Amino acid sequence: MKYNIRGENLEVTEAIKDYVEKKVGKLERYFDEPVTSEVHVNLSVYNDEQEIEVTIPMKDLLLRAEERHTDLYAAIDLVVDKLERQIRKHKTKVNRKFRQEGAPKYVFAELEKEAQEYQNGASDDEDIEIVKQKRFDLKPMDSEEAVLQMDMLGHNFYVYTNAETNETNVVYRRRDGKYGLIEPS
């Protein structure tokens, strides 16, 4: 990483510069390849508070965090913690998206798991057990309102009565994030 460290109302000493480079440099462990972008660090003093802003522009991600504290070194530690959380959150999203797109490693693992479950289910002659039962009135609505209700409840599907046809329909969230509709024929 290349560092661009500036100070407003503050002289950036060698000790401060070394501390910033040491702490922010620890973020490199989260990446497979060395980070080649420039790290912009802005240190400033307002009254009794020290403020630090760190911006790291990258190819697919812009990391940015700022923090205020009475102690500059504590502010540096806090801003690095924020950046770590951003990186972990981004990596989690990327990994989840990669798995959903069907990486071969996960596809084969899922197929093997399904085959194992099928074999276990075929050998066991257990009855299907319903562990919970719900009853509710189906409110007449259109499919858009049903999707909004489903999202509001945080469910993956929603059963409703179609206001136009007066038939029972189901809207559901697909794995690709889009919605599906099931209607009787």
User: Domains of the chain by range and CATH?
Assistant: 2-100 (3.30.160.100), 140-182 (3.30.505.50)
Residues paired with residue 55 on neighbouring β-strands, in sequence order: 40, 64
Between 59 and 76, the more confident residue is: 76
In this structure, are residues 41 and 23 in contact, taking their beta carbons and an 8 Å threshold? no
Task: Name which of 30-39, 72-81, 153-162 the model is least confident about.
Answer: 30-39
The yes-or-no verdict on residue 164 having pLDDT over 80 is yes
* pLDDT score for 150: 81
Q: pLDDT at position 182, please?
A: 93
Who's near 138: CB < 8 A, 6+ residues apart?
159, 160, 161, 168
User: Mean pLDDT for the chain?
Assistant: 80
Beta bridge partners of 65: 54
Show Cβ contacts of residue 75 under 8 Å, excluding neighbours closer than 6 positions.
50, 51, 52, 67, 68, 69
In SS3 terms, 95-155 reads as: HHHHHHCCCHHHHHHHHHHHHHHHHHHHHCCCCCCCCCCCCCCCCEECHHHHHHHHHHHCC
Helix %, strand %, coil % of the chain (to 5):
40, 30, 30
Nearest to 3 by CA among 31, 27, 30: 27
Predicted structure pTM score: 0.51
Q: Which residue has the higher pLDDT, 136 or 172?
A: 172
CA-based nearest residue to 23, from 38, 1, 45, 7: 1
